[in-house]
């Protein structure tokens, strides 16, 4: 397990300073810790969170967007017709419900296709683990500073502490 | 009043504000009247002008941010009105040019003829919300919102009537981004 507090400290260390999203139980510990330590703005929909991060980025922030993979459906047009054409980066922390086909029915289809959807849209992503966190955050900063594109870290159940 | 008249009236009042413009005719009409680096022309992502503007306003609280939105955009992202009200940036003014149709796709009707969007904004918690129907009332309404604490909401009722000779935004999306960020000193 990766402690939420440690991960947030690493995010701060890499300059991330704007946090928003729509919750998922897999990210509940992370969001609670952000509320306590950094400020976290609840968004009402994932596409609105994409817009919020895009505006914050252009005005000087380094944003992080937390969402469940179900939100990828809501936000795909925002990514493709905003971030990907203007070159507006954001670090997306996306929980992977339905991973391996073992979850509630509403998560099975998106869980089976979220990686393919991201790849088809040309959005780079990796699966976050306790062992690769430092390397992937370096990669995230590279994507943001140099490629100016969104970068998604997929989070499987059990990686972060949960609080619900 | 036609939509372009909103820009003809308000553009001369602009200084260093960040201005976020919704997709479709709103961006094109503003581009025609006054193209400036501080204009962010949103060419896709319908519904998101409001959330983009909120992000700008929160990140630069000392700079006034204006959102020029349309009724179709606001109806698509009504939840963002709640987010703006909850975050309550004092420096944000949300101007909605309401022609009651999706004009750029063939003037199919929206439902803003029966949904008073300024009442929705006020109920969500915008500090001020005004409705203007006449061109000669526009400047004073805008100036009163500038003097009051935000977030403010200005609903401008207009007639459809986009001039098809109006050009398209000629900057590339990346140019729009870079000009906008430079104007915000990022």
Answer whether the bond into residue A93 is a cis peptide, omega within 30°. Answer: no
pLDDT at A55 over 80: yes
Contacts of B142 (CB under 8 A, 6+ apart): B9, B10, B13, B93, B95, B154
Distance from CA of A132 to the nearest CA of B (A): 30
pLDDT category, A164, cuts 50, 70, 90?
A: confident
Q: What's the rounded Cα separation, in Å, for the pair A12 and B63?
A: 25
Beta-carbon separation of A82 and B48 below 8 A: yes
The parts of chain B modelled with pLDDT lower than 70 are none
DSSP secondary structure string, B105-138? GT-EE-STTTS-HHHHHHHHT-SEEEEE-SGGGH
- ipTM score above 0.90: yes
pLDDT greater than 80 at residue A157: yes
User: CA A152, A104, A27: angle at the middle one, nearest 5?
Assistant: 40
Gyration radius of chain A over CA positions:
14
Nearest by CB to A78, which of B18, B48, B180?
B48
Q: Return the pLDDT at A138.
A: 97
Q: Quick one: what percent of chain A has pLDDT higher than 70? A: 100
- Please tell me the distance in Å from A101's CA to the nearest CA on chain B: 31
Distances, alpha carbon A25 to alpha carbons A30, A34, A103, A162, B1, in Å: 10, 14, 13, 7, 50
Whether the CB of A43 is below 8 Å from some CB of chain B: the reply is yes
Chains A and B: how many Cβ contacts under 8 Å? 116
Q: Is A140 on the interface with B (CB under 8 A)?
A: no
Q: Which residues of A10-38 are buried (b: 16+ CB within 10 A; e: fewer)?
A: ebeebebbbbbbbbbebbbbbbbbbeeeb
Distance between CA A2 and CA B27 in Å, rounded? Answer: 45
Of B55, B82, B180, the CB nearest to A52: B55
Give A50's contacts in chain B (Cβ within 8 Å): 45, 48, 51
The reported pLDDT for the residue numbered A1 is 86
Nearest CA in chain B to A80: B45
- Mean pLDDT on A123-127: 97
Option in A44, A54, A78 nearest B83 (CB): A44
CA nearest B171: which of B13, B2, B12, B21? B21
CB nearest B56 (choices: A49, A59, A80): A59
3-state SS, residue B43 = coil
d(CA B83, CA B88): 8
Could you please state the CATH topology (level 3) that the domain comprising B3-183 is classified under.
Rossmann fold (3.40.50)
Instruction: Quickly list DSSP for A42-87.
Output: EPSSHHHHHHHHHHHHHTT--EEEEEETHHHHHHHHHIIIIIHHHT
Domains and CATH numbers, chain A: 4-155 (3.40.50.970)
- Residue A38 confidence (pLDDT) above 90: no
Report strand pairing: B101-102 vs B108-109: antiparallel
The whole-angstrom distance between B94's CA and the closest CA on chain A is: 15
Tell me the nearest-neighbour CA distance from B54 into chain A, angstroms. 6
Give pLDDT, residue A98: 97
A-chain CB neighbours of B86 within 8 Å are 42
Domain ranges of chain B: 3-183
Q: What's the pLDDT at A163?
A: 86
The Cα B150–Cα B153 span in angstroms is 8
Whole-model pTM: value is: 0.97
């Amino acid at each position: 397990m990766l402690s939420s507090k440690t991960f947030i400290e690493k995010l701060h260390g890499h300059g991330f300073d704007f946090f928003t999203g729509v919750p998922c139980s897999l990210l509940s510990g992370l969001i609670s810790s952000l509320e306590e330590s950094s400020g976290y703005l609840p968004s009402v929909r994932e596409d609105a969170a994409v817009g919020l991060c895009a505006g914050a980025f252009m005005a000087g922030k380094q944003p992080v967007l937390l969402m469940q993979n179900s939100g990828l459906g809501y936000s795909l047009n925002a990514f493709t017709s905003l971030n990907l054409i203007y070159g507006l980066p954001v670090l997306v922390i996306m929980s992977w419900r339905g991973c391996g086909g073992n979850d509630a029915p509403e998560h099975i289809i998106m869980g089976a296709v979220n990686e393919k959807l991201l790849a088809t849209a040309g959005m780079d992503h990796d699966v976050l683990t306790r062992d690769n966190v430092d390397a992937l955050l370096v990669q995230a900063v590279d994507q943001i500073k140099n490629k100016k594109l969104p970068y998604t870290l997929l989070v499987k159940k059990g990686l972060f502490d949960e609080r619900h | 009043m036609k939509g372009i008249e909103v820009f003809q009236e308000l553009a001369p009042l602009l200084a260093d504000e960040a201005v976020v413009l919704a997709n479709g005719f709103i961006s094109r009409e503003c581009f025609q009247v006054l193209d400036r680096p501080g204009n962010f022309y949103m060419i896709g992502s319908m519904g998101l002008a409001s959330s983009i503007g909120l992000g700008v306003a929160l990140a630069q609280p000392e700079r006034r941010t204006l959102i020029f939105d349309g009724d179709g955009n606001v109806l698509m992202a009504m939840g963002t009105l709640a987010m703006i009200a909850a975050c309550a940036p004092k420096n944000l003014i949300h101007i909605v040019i309401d022609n009651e149709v999706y004009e750029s796709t063939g003037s199919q009707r929206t439902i803003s003829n029966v949904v008073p969007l300024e009442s929705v904004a006020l109920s969500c918690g915008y500090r001020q919300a005004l409705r203007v129907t006449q061109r000669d009332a526009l400047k004073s309404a805008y100036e009163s919102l500038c003097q009051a604490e935000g977030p403010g909401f200005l609903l401008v009722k207009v007639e459809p009537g986009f001039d098809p000779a109006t050009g398209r935004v000629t900057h590339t999306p990346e140019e729009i981004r870079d000009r906008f960020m430079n104007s915000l000193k990022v």
